[in-house]
Structure 1
Amino acid sequence: QPAVPGADWLFSPSSAVIGRFSPSSRSPANMAACVRALRGCARLPVSASSRRCSALSRARGQYTSQKVRRTFIEFFTEQHRHRAVPSAPVRPRGDPSLLFVNAGMNQFKPILLGCADPRSEMASYQRVVNSQKCVRAGGKHNDLDDVGRDVYHHTFFEMLGNWSFGDYFKVEACAMAWHLLTEVYEIPAERLYVSYFSGDAASGLPADEETRHIWLSLGLRPDHVLPFGMKDNFWEMGETGPCGPCTEIHYDHVGTRNAAALVNADSPDVVEIWNLVFMQYNREGDGGLRALPQCSVDTGMGLERLLTVLQGKRSNYDTDLFTPLLSAIHQCSRAPAYSGRTEQTDAGRVDMAYRVVADHVRTLSVCIADGVYPGMTGAELVLRRILRRAVRFSTEVLHAPEGALASLVPTVAHILVSGVSVPQSSHPVQFTVATRWLLAICFKLYCWSRSTAAVAWSLHRNLGFPLDLIDLMLEERNMAVDKHGVEQLAAEQEQVSEGGAEERGLHMDLQSLAELQSRGVPHTNDSPKYSYSLQHNGTYVFSPCRASVLALYCNQSLVSEVSEGQRCGMVLDQTCFYAEQGGQMHDQGYFTKDGLQTYVFQDVLFPVECVRLAGGYVVHEITAAETLRTGDQIQLHVDETQRLACMVKHTATHVLNFALRELLGSGVVQRGSHVTADRLRFDFSYKASLNVSQLQEVERMVQDIIHQNDVVHMQEVPLARANQIAGLRTVDEVYPDPVRVVSVGVAASELLSNQKHKHTSVELCCGTHLLQTGGIGDFVIVSERQMVKGISRIIAVTGEDAKQAREAGQVLLQEVEALTARIATDHTPSLATAQRLSKEVGLLTDAVESTPIPQWQRRDLQTRLKALQRSMWTPCHLLVHWTRTCHISEYVLMVPLYIKCLV
């Protein structure tokens, strides 16, 4: 350990840490000495430029995508003691602000925002490395429009990254990056340029001279260290949240020149390969910046761009991540082979089509494998647009046959080596047919409206058709989209969406969370939420909970007192309220304050409006009924009716999940759920909508478990042990350790001791549940449909609501049977009778559609009513009636009915 002025400590790479500096000692001279010492500890030899160039030339034939990925991970895990974390799915975990995971840091946002569960493994992360699957299509980071036009943009890519959460910072991050690129990958240093933050007077931010001096100390020439402003070198998570200056490493594909002028100039010859973000500020709701209590490092390097450098290519599409796929596209199309042309040299946009199809089929394969299917809203709609773009370029430019996209998926899976499932081919085939129809509709609408903006926006917004393809279709027919008009329509839609946005409630900011921790405020003990009992008469008893007010949060700051009428968040030492999580709605209820009574000696009630989790603290949102101070003693009372209803629905959800897997097979995977006092919603993966017999069988299986009145066991088990339970089903979430295991009929300890125990419902769950399944009472599925292809949604009711649904179903069944009998007795109805009966059938159809009844019965009644409608107006009936009348008025009335019957 060399003595370095200003360094708190400085270890070699094998000692887990390679340098940290006190803020007061970060002078250029001290930092330069530290970096020199760091280079000595890490044994970073300064190689000759010619030696590095020849080494890179030798390595160009050796570096495959798998080797590059593996080398990156091993460099940080073996030399710098990082923890390798698997890639998160491309569907974000519980983050409604994102359509897709678009950066490596997405899965670590709970750490950066201070809301990671303190019992989870994530809370212990300090040094992390991984390769993250990313999709950038839609939202703030959207590369969809650029894909195909150049050779380095993608909608799907892999992000190699390393992170420090309160551990190392700028010096170590820069040194490790430089070592990996120049010594491990042996990239010539003279081809690398770095940018740093030049400061922003409007925000009161100085230039990041610290980073500049670090790079100079690492041996970079001054003309290779370049300053840039907020746009290029200041990274922000969103409108609010952690942010900070960043430094980017760029590579010059040409070399033997000074390419500083091409950095951040959107030149294909000089491209960014690695971005190092230093999160040291938090963007507040008012736009201001505050220093973070703990600094973090977030780096990201695109695998595709790095591989292009290491394999000596000028295009990402010329690397082994794409060449096998481009070859497969050529084999299934009737187009010339891919030649890498762009813009004006790309006659007929053939090479652009190759790049679009190759990129999009990768995105589609990974998204569908992670459970995101083409649909009509959110990420599903974006994926639908990607699919349509791929199909159109495939069929109309490359002249590939129907189903060609699906045939490419095995090639994608082989390249990525990530177990990508092969999706069904029905989506591309269906879209090919739909495209022909849309082409005809598009031009007819244009002729009618004379407004290409209205037509284009309607096709884009309502039917998911990409705007660039609409533009291409019109261009082929000597027409053009009114882009200004489309932008106006998009702006109007955005205003409508913003106007309808609901208030999202109080959210404790990072500074307040850090202040709570610095004060030593303990995390909220919420175990009393599980303190309830079942009496012999079948009723549940929920005991009130005494607590102390530890903190009050109002107007984005911690306060010691709130007055009557003020809305605030309240943190207690313990609570019996359930905070919204795991798909279960939060508890409602009230609390009383000790010593506060009205003049008639009645307690003043403080209603609890919402309950949320924030970094281990349970925040109760209230509007103060009287003055409330920290230190006050209170007594909490949950709304017993609402809590019990949620418990019923949550236990029923577990039983339903078990029944679906038993009936439909182990391929059924939960895709989401939501439990409220009124009903339960359950989303799951399955190839088709359930038929009548399947719906009936699922209900029967659930009712059998209800009638058995099995005990519901809830037990905390170490996470590693819980994962050993046979038949355990988990969802894609970060679980605490220990974890709560909820099982029906058999305790978790018995399941662990005897793997041959009977198969039963067992899940990891933090929700509140019944103690016996008999408390569900009854169970009815009132709705089941496919949200998108491959994802079904069930809505069910329990107890008295289920009983009422059955009764309503019987009433409608009797009405349908009575109407059927009346129609059967009149073999040749008059025109007036036929019209009256047809109207009755229509009204009864509407009632069957809208009334909460068993879904299997709804399907059965709908089938009967359609048959009744057809039986009344067969061509035979109409012709018979026409032979008995010659009134022209009746002929006029009968013609549309006759046509309707034929259709």
Structure 2
Amino acid sequence: MAARIRFFKHRCNALINMNSTSVIALRECLSRSYHVQKDFSSKQVRKTFTDFFHELYQHRIVKSSPVRPRGDTSLLFVNAGMNQFKPIFLGAADPRSEMVTYRRVVNSQKCVRAGGKHNDLEDVGRDVYHHTFFEMLGNWSFGDYFKEEACGMAWRLLTEEYRIPPERLYVSYFAGDAISGLPADEETRHIWLSIGVPADHLLPFGMRDNFWEMGETGPCGPCTEIHYDHIGGRNAALLVNADSPDVVEIWNLVFMQYNREADHSLRSLPHFSVDTGMGLERLVSVLQGQRSNYDTDLFTPLLSAIQQCANCPKYRGRTGEADVGKVDMAYRVVADHVRTLSVCIADGVYPGMSGAELVLRRILRRAVRFSSEVLQAPEGSLAGLVPTVAHILIMDVINENEAQFLSSLKQGRRVIDRTLQRLEGSNSVFPAPVAWSLHRNLGFPLDLIGLMLEEKGIANWASFKCHGLPDSGRETLFHLDLHTLAQLQADKVPQTDDFLKYHYSLGPDDKYVFQPCHATVQALYCGQALVSEVAEGQRCGVVLDRTCFYAEQGGQSHDQGYFIKDGLQDVMYPVEAVHLAGGYVVHQVTTADVLTKGDQVQLYVDEAQRLACMVKHTATHILNFALRQHLGPSVEQRGSHVAADRLRFDFSVKVHTTQLQEIEKSIRNIITEDSAVYIEEVSLARVKDIPGLRTVEEVYPDPVRVVSVAVPISDLFVSQTVRPTSVELCCGTHLRRTGEIGDLVIVSERQMVKGISRIIAVTGDDARQVGFIKTGKSPVKSCKITGKSC
């Protein structure tokens, strides 16, 4: 025993005499022991998270949505786990969809932060934790549990399931804001104290750090963040939110309490919700005892693959001045970017010339430049990094784009070098015309030009950034805000019955008959508020108890038309647009006379416009079918739009002129056959049994409408020998028979970007005129719908 005591005293004296650097190193080594015991793989980290909330707290597991946002034009990419749940936060979820049943949800969401408000592209490679693509682990409560439960679950998961030492964790909460008049979130502070977080690990911060907002307007609220100290064995409170790589945020719990109004004021939400987000990459680095995300099993195999094909030293994880030649930065850029490219392309976003496609093109070209110039990798290396399980199309897209840009990169490098030689010795700013020439003519992203100049020691290149490209705007409609929707629900205003939009028939003269609809004005929306009366000449939104108007959805344009008020038969109220919000159909109207809540009105649809859309929509289904028949089952729909004058269809396969002619011929054959179009509502569980069913990536109501050409819906389930036909899930309006299309001519086909083709087609009289011009012959069949242009 005495010998053991002497040994222990000797070790203590040795520790006391060690310098501070050695102590820190030893402490860091000892503090990592819990990671070695647990030894989490990234796969286990992800599964532990979802299983924890699903099995212990009854959260529904919802799969990740694609990185291309569904119907959200405010985003280029899905950049947070809550994006797919925005309709719930905004009170605008389709009442027939599964989403309205969500109360507790958990998932791991694919996210891209490159372009737009949240843009990490410039930081990727410079440090060891920024990414353009990452996974966001999150759990949500929609009007169910709130602060106390959310904090308790988070603490239990981190300290018990992941076994992170509590002393390594620091928690921030909202300190209040005098300008906004918001009080400090003392409730959250007391919750954390009751859980056992020490007071010196519980820190208040203001709006910048601990108040989360969806955007300029919309749901928002205070948040509480959990931070992790990589070093340990000390009090690191001063390093929280101080941009220290030693103390990093790992989880953000947002408490949706308010709505940011258009006038920037805050109003309390009708239902409080919880929205949390924790980056998988950063959590894995913590649990695997690494300081860098790139040193985890999410990246090390990819970095090894890069080193095998590159003509450079292996990755050493250096940053800043220590990273001589920017080699390690290049490793991180290529590894990050090829992940982003693979995920985006797999989700149908291809490098292109605008929007998200343009951002992806910039990411690809940035990766090509670092791969070829810094890492000295041969052509084709970038695509070779794509996992072998990935679809061959992804590798082809990257290969082709890499080859296209390599020659431009060499030419651009020569232009930059010659320009800098001419400027040598002067204080001139890099010429903006040269930068814009590289941008317009050689496809150089401006940020890439800036990066290349920065590497040459030119810091004043940014002056040409102010010469931005013109923005394009879109007309906004009268969209009900979430407070208005909540008020309508609180006032027990019934959701609009719009099933009459499907009520039409053929008259004795084979013309379609659209019966007018009698309705009551349930609500008037004007000036961002519900009002009881709207004066003449004002633009407003009108909510009715029932309607025969089609609201824009499913790629089909909204109806137009008018309504008249009972007792005022000579005054028409034109309906300019129609859209859905939380089960309410909002008619955008400019009043021709006073309109009052409770007024009785008669609705009349513009029959020619509606019929033209019906023709185009049925024709779109047949076009989709014909494309698959001639180009193969790999054809995937990438978007469509049905308007009165034409139809647009985007798809995933390149098509040749001879194939287009055969596709047109097949469509005309189906039109000539004059087959019946069958429509029936079927439960979502049952539609999975329909062979050959085509769907797109969106949330469907239950039950859902099935549209089948030539084959009755019932036959699709019972017969295994049913002939191939067009079968789709669709909420649009359709013809009764294919012969009523009259004719179809493809007037334009072009490849928008690599992997995305677009067809523009016309029908009816327009098709006959185009067909006569193209062939000099009359069309194959006359349209049944006489007297109207289709």
Name the TM-score, length of structure 2 as normaliser: 0.91
Equivalences for 1:124-203 in 2 at 5 Å? 124-203=101-180
**2:449 maps to which residue?**
470
Q: CA deviation at 1:441?
A: 4.7
**1:208 maps to which residue?**
185
Q: CA deviation at 1:810?
A: 4.3
**2:362 maps to which residue?**
385
Q: 1:634 aligns with which of 601, 604, 608?
A: 601
In structure 2, relative to structure 1, the CA distance for the partners of 1:462 and 1:106 (3 Å cut) is farther
For 1:462 and 1:746, how far apart are their aligned partners in 2? 53
SS at match of 1:137: coil
1:507 corresponds to 2:479: yes
**1:437 maps to which residue?**
411
For 2:367 and 2:658, how far apart are their aligned partners in 1? 38
Which whole-Å deviations, capped at 9, do the CAs of 1:36-64 have from their partners, x for residues lacking one? Answer: xxxxxxxxxxxxx99x968723335x200
Structure 2: gaps of 5 or more residues: 1-26, 778-790
Letter of the 1:668 partner, please give it: V
Q: CA deviation at 1:435?
A: 1.5
**2:566 maps to which residue?**
594
For 2:573 and 2:157, how far apart are their aligned partners in 1? 58
In structure 2, relative to structure 1, the CA distance for the partners of 1:707 and 1:455 (3 Å cut) is same
In structure 2, relative to structure 1, the CA distance for the partners of 1:540 and 1:481 (3 Å cut) is farther
Do 1:365 and 1:420's aligned partners in 2 also have CA atoms closer than 8 Å? no
For 1:537 and 1:579, how far apart are their aligned partners in 2? 28
Q: Report which stretch shifted further, 754-763 or 439-448.
A: 439-448
1:488 corresponds to 2:466: yes
Q: 2:238 aligns with which of 261, 268, 278?
A: 261
1:228 corresponds to 2:205: yes
Do 1:77 and 1:83's aligned partners in 2 also have CA atoms closer than 8 Å? yes
**2:733 maps to which residue?**
768
For 1:802 and 1:127, how far apart are their aligned partners in 2? 51
Letter of the 2:672 partner, please give it: H
1:354 corresponds to 2:331: yes
Which whole-Å deviations, capped at 9, do the CAs of 1:317-375 have from their partners, x for residues lacking one? Answer: 00000000000000011110001111010010000000000000000000010010100
Equivalences for 1:825-840 in 2 at 5 Å? none
**2:750 maps to which residue?**
785
1:673 corresponds to 2:652: no
Letter of the 1:473 partner, please give it: M
Do 1:308 and 1:319's aligned partners in 2 also have CA atoms closer than 8 Å? yes
Letter of the 2:219 partner, please give it: P
For 1:628 and 1:326, how far apart are their aligned partners in 2? 67
Q: CA deviation at 1:419?
A: 12
Letter of the 1:453 partner, please give it: A
**2:526 maps to which residue?**
554
Which whole-Å deviations, capped at 9, do the CAs of 1:454-495 have from their partners, x for residues lacking one? Answer: 33245446765233432343456x5736444124223xx4xx
1:58 corresponds to 2:36: yes
For 2:731 and 2:298, how far apart are their aligned partners in 1? 42
For 2:33 and 2:679, how far apart are their aligned partners in 1? 60
Which whole-Å deviations, capped at 9, do the CAs of 1:521-542 have from their partners, x for residues lacking one? Answer: 1110100000001235321011
Q: CA deviation at 1:438?
A: 2.9
In structure 2, relative to structure 1, the CA distance for the partners of 1:799 and 1:310 (3 Å cut) is same
**2:301 maps to which residue?**
324
Root-mean-square deviation (Å): 2.1
Going by fraction, where is helix more abundant, 1 or 2? 1
Which whole-Å deviations, capped at 9, do the CAs of 1:64-115 have from their partners, x for residues lacking one? Answer: 0000100000000000000000000101111111010000000001111111
In structure 2, relative to structure 1, the CA distance for the partners of 1:422 and 1:123 (3 Å cut) is farther
**2:6 maps to which residue?**
none
1:537 corresponds to 2:472: no
Equivalences for 1:657-736 in 2 at 5 Å? 657-686=624-653, 688=654, 690-736=655-701
Percent identity, aligned pairs only?
A: 69
In structure 2, relative to structure 1, the CA distance for the partners of 1:451 and 1:305 (3 Å cut) is closer
Which whole-Å deviations, capped at 9, do the CAs of 1:544-584 have from their partners, x for residues lacking one? Answer: 01111111111111111111111111111110000011111
Q: CA deviation at 1:440?
A: 3.8
Q: CA deviation at 1:748?
A: 1.8
Q: 2:316 aligns with which of 334, 339, 343?
A: 339
For 1:54 and 1:483, how far apart are their aligned partners in 2? 44
In structure 2, relative to structure 1, the CA distance for the partners of 1:156 and 1:461 (3 Å cut) is farther
Equivalences for 1:9-88 in 2 at 5 Å? 56-60=34-38, 62-88=39-65
SS at match of 1:520: coil
For 1:230 and 1:450, how far apart are their aligned partners in 2? 38
Equivalences for 1:787-806 in 2 at 5 Å? 787-806=752-771
For 1:147 and 1:393, how far apart are their aligned partners in 2? 12
Do 2:677 and 2:709's aligned partners in 1 also have CA atoms closer than 8 Å? yes
**1:375 maps to which residue?**
352
Do 2:58 and 2:104's aligned partners in 1 also have CA atoms closer than 8 Å? yes
Q: Per chain length, whose mean CA-contact separation is higher, i.e. which structure has more relative contact order (CA < 8 Å, sep 6+)?
A: 2
Do 1:59 and 1:311's aligned partners in 2 also have CA atoms closer than 8 Å? no
Letter of the 2:710 partner, please give it: G
SS at match of 1:577: coil
For 1:132 and 1:307, how far apart are their aligned partners in 2? 15
Structure possessing the higher radius of gyration over alpha carbons? 1
Q: CA deviation at 1:167?
A: 0.3
Do 1:786 and 1:792's aligned partners in 2 also have CA atoms closer than 8 Å? yes
**1:14 maps to which residue?**
none
Equivalences for 1:603-642 in 2 at 5 Å? 603-642=570-609
Do 2:90 and 2:482's aligned partners in 1 also have CA atoms closer than 8 Å? yes
For 1:421 and 1:471, how far apart are their aligned partners in 2? 28
**2:617 maps to which residue?**
650
Structure 1: gaps of 5 or more residues: 1-48, 598-602, 814-903
**2:67 maps to which residue?**
90
Do 2:453 and 2:461's aligned partners in 1 also have CA atoms closer than 8 Å? no
The size of the alignment, in residue pairs, is 744
For 2:49 and 2:454, how far apart are their aligned partners in 1? 45
Do 2:446 and 2:465's aligned partners in 1 also have CA atoms closer than 8 Å? no
Letter of the 2:467 partner, please give it: L
In structure 2, relative to structure 1, the CA distance for the partners of 1:427 and 1:54 (3 Å cut) is closer
Q: CA deviation at 1:442?
A: 4.9
Letter of the 1:465 partner, please give it: F
SS at match of 1:304: helix
Q: 2:341 aligns with which of 357, 364, 386?
A: 364
Q: CA deviation at 1:194?
A: 0.8
**2:400 maps to which residue?**
426
**1:312 maps to which residue?**
289
1:575 corresponds to 2:547: yes
In structure 2, relative to structure 1, the CA distance for the partners of 1:623 and 1:504 (3 Å cut) is same
Do 1:456 and 1:481's aligned partners in 2 also have CA atoms closer than 8 Å? no
Q: 2:500 aligns with which of 499, 523, 528?
A: 528
SS at match of 2:567: strand
